[in-house]
Amino acid sequence: MSGFEIVRINDGTFDRYVDGLAAVLNAGVLGGAGVSFVLPHTMADSRRFWLDVVRPGLKADSRTLLAAMSGDAVAGTVQLDCDTPPNQPHRAEVLKLIVHPSFRRQGIARALMLSLEESARARGRTLLTLDTASETAKRLYLSLGFRRVGDIPEFARHPIDDRYDATTIMYKKL
């Protein structure tokens, strides 16, 4: 990956990035990404997610938020949620890996995931779990050493089409 920088966003720097993060999420959903939301999905909906769901985790330091920056533009993002129960201090959930459609196929998602794995190790998290409906993302996760546990049929509504898609549960031991 060249021309991009991976930055860790914390509560103190969040305001600088929130518009770019909202634009990436909104573009992803409008493009059909299965990342919790369905159409209609506005920039206001997107901002609300980052402010109401993600920011409290940054304040509590229970979430790691990474962004891939192309100059001042947020090209992609991923999160690690470490808000696990007391009996899972070693586990963390990978959430919302999204690369803006204009920046795909340049190795940004792979770079974000490798950086997220470093963050997980630094936090003492040695088991990563995730679920994904995306065949593209699955290929990436498998190439990074994630193992496929299985599929849950009709797990979530497609963001655009009137149908329910399966999700695939995956994990990686670091």
Ligand X SMILES: CC(C)(COP(=O)(O)OP(=O)(O)OC[C@H]1O[C@@H](n2cnc3c(N)ncnc32)[C@H](O)[C@@H]1OP(=O)(O)O)[C@@H](O)C(=O)NCCC(=O)NCCS
99 binds ligand X, rule: CB under 6 A: yes
Instruction: Respond yes or no on whether the N-terminal peptide bond of residue 89 is cis (omega within 30° of 0).
Output: no
Q: Tokens 């305001």 belong to which residue? A: 15
Segment interacting with ligand X (CB under 6 A) among 2-10, 32-40, 45-53, 151-159: 32-40
Q: Given candidates 18, 22, 54, 137, which one binds ligand X under the rule CB under 6 A?
A: 137
Say whether residue 102 binds ligand X (CB under 6 A): no
* Among the listed residues 23, 73, 127, 140, the single contact to ligand X using CB under 6 A: 140
CB-based contacts of 113, cutoff 8 Å, min separation 6: 78, 94, 97, 140, 141, 144
Would you count residue 110 as binding ligand X (CB under 6 A)?
Answer: yes
* One residue of 98, 120, 128, 170 binding ligand X per CB under 6 A: 98
- Residue 33 Cβ vs ligand X, minimum distance, rounded to whole Å: 3
Nearest to 68 by CA among 34, 33, 20: 20
Residue 28 lies near ligand X (rule: CB under 6 A): yes
Question: How far apart, in whole angstroms, are the C-alpha atoms of residue 164 and residue 69?
Answer: 33
Among 45, 134, 165, 171, the residue binding ligand X under the rule CB under 6 A is: 134
One residue of 25, 58, 109, 170 binding ligand X per CB under 6 A? 109
Find the radius of gyration of the CA atoms of the chain.
Answer: 15
Residues ≥6 apart with Cβ < 8 Å to 144: 110, 113, 114, 117, 172
Candidate list 143, 145, 147, 148; residue touching ligand X; CB under 6 A: 143
Q: Provide the residue count of the chain.
A: 174
Token pair in block for residue 111: 């770079």
Minimal distance, residue 128 CB to ligand X, in Å: 12
Contacting range for ligand X; rule: CB under 6 A; set: 8-16, 53-61, 84-92, 100-108:
100-108
Q: Which residues contact 169 (CB under 8 A, 6 or more apart)?
A: 129, 130, 131, 148, 149, 150, 151, 152
Residues at the contact surface with ligand X, assessed by CB under 6 A: 28, 33-35, 76, 97-99, 104-110, 132, 134, 136-137, 139-140, 143
